[in-house]
Amino acid sequence: MLEKQRITILGSTGSIGKSALDVVRHYPDRFEVVGLAAHQNISLLLKQIAEFQPACVAVSDPNALAALRQHDPPTTVLDDDRPLESLATIPVDTVLCAVVGAVGLRPLLAAIDAGNRVAVANKEPFVMAGRLVMERARKRGVEVLPVDSEHNAIFQCIHGHEQSDVACIHLTASGGPFYGRERSALEEVLPEEATKHPTWDMGAKISVDSATLMNKGLEIIEAMWLFDLPAEQIDVVIHPQSIIHSLVEFRDGNILAHLGVTDMKFPILFALTYPERVELPMKRLDLTAMKALTFDVPDFSAFPCLALARQAAITGGTAPAILNAANEEAVSAFCDHRLGFLQISDVVDAVCSMIESSSGYHLEAVLAVDQRAREAAQGVIARYAL
């Protein structure tokens, strides 16, 4: 009988977390859920505890933690200062990192330091501190498996090839809900429209990032660290059908592409079971039903976030951490109706010019600059609100 794979899911109540538990549901004999972590959604976490019977859970929001305790769930509830980090260090086969934002950095590092293999959807830690994450993983001999669909695609295309043979990576972008619109037509956009993605069903923050194209900018930086390539070798192409999830071009001109349906369960299963290939009883891509696969250049003037992220990637050091923090604050303000859609890039641009980046990349430097960039962003956002 197959030995069960022990997994922990950080962010089990989110879009990726729920998809991962759907995957687990298909394979009750293959996976054992050891740990689950949530932030505020206690009602869903309680259902997940009842169904998957994890040994331990962590809740980062203190009020939500108190509410969970009142239900006296049949599991160990971690209650130290940094419960997600503690959960991430419990020995398992894979920790799936699926919280949203910079808050995922410490738990990701904790999982790596504990020697746990990591499957990473949470891209912001790579943007903030990709060098640090990859160095720690190398030192600890820990595998880092990308879940983000483009990076998962590249991982599969690049496998078995010499890294020095890679000429460039083409990251595909759907273009988001506002693809084809002029900048002037984006003035009045509301959060409800920005979070309606045409091809993927995702959490609010990444949906807004997809609408501004910041998501693709963050993915350039994520790819730099995952595949050890400079920003100049990573290119973005708009592909509205989201069938090709990314492509790798080799120096001899051959290009390998990865195709698939737009469902995160596929990259999640791949990462959890790698290097095995496991059958997923789900709808496959019907090649003959596809009408056209089209490709386009991004519109940098309507979507300035992409250029801002590329610039931060080229500057390097703490510049991407500054960009990421400013963007998180701006997206949060936009979702709360405190900031207009077009002002998201204005805030990021302003903060990137206000705060000088440094070449340091140790954890304290990254966290300090993250904090400074957030404070600066709050100031800029407050001025817009006047």
| Among 22, 30, 40, 233, interactor with ligand NDP by CB under 6 A | 40
Least Cβ distance, residue 284 to ligand NDP (angstroms): 19
Look-up of token digits 């998180």: 328
Least Cβ distance, residue 120 to Mg ion (angstroms): 12
CA 32, 37, 41, 46 dihedral sign is: positive
By the rule CB under 6 A, 197 interacts with ligand NDP: no
Nearer to ligand NDP, 179 or 350 (CB): 179
d(CA 302, CA 307): 11
In the three-class reduction of DSSP (H, G, I as helix; E, B as strand; rest coil), residue 177 is classed as coil
Q: Identify whether the C-beta of residue 252 lies closer than 8 Å to the C-beta of residue 161.
A: no
Determine the distance from the C-alpha atom of residue 23 to the mean position of all C-alpha atoms in its chain, rounded to a whole number.
Answer: 18
The amino acid that residue 124 corresponds to is: E
By the rule CB under 6 A, 41 interacts with ligand NDP: yes
By the rule CB under 5 A, 209 interacts with Mg ion: no
* Of 115, 96, 94, residue with least CA distance to 6: 94
d(CA 208, CA 344): 10
Nearer to ligand NDP, 48 or 273 (CB): 48
* Of 100, 243, 253, residue with least CA distance to 174: 243
CA 264, 280, 224, 236 dihedral sign is: negative
Least Cβ distance, residue 200 to Mg ion (angstroms): 8
By the rule CB under 6 A, 335 interacts with ligand NDP: no
Look-up of token digits 């993605």: 197
Interface residues for ligand NDP in 206-225 (CB under 6 A)? 206
The amino acid that residue 88 corresponds to is: A
Interface residues for Mg ion in 131-170 (CB under 5 A)? 148-150
* Of 296, 312, 383, 340, residue with least CA distance to 183: 340
| Among 48, 86, 122, 246, interactor with ligand NDP by CB under 6 A | 122
Pick the piece of the chain touching ligand NDP (CB under 6 A) from 183-191, 196-204, 242-250, 305-313: 196-204
By the rule CB under 6 A, 153 interacts with ligand NDP: no
Largest CA-CA distance found in the chain, in angstroms, rounded: 65
By the rule CB under 6 A, 13 interacts with ligand NDP: yes
By the rule CB under 6 A, 130 interacts with ligand NDP: no
d(CA 214, CA 384): 20
| Binding residues for ligand NDP, total number by CB under 6 A | 28
Binding mask 53-92 for ligand NDP (x = CB under 6 A): -------x-----------------------x--------
Nearer to ligand NDP, 117 or 123 (CB): 123
By the rule CB under 6 A, 46 interacts with ligand NDP: no
Least Cβ distance, residue 224 to Mg ion (angstroms): 15
Q: Identify whether the C-beta of residue 161 lies closer than 8 Å to the C-beta of residue 250.
A: yes
Residues that bind ligand NDP (CB under 6 A): 11, 13-17, 38-41, 60, 84, 98-100, 103, 121-124, 148, 200, 202-206, 264
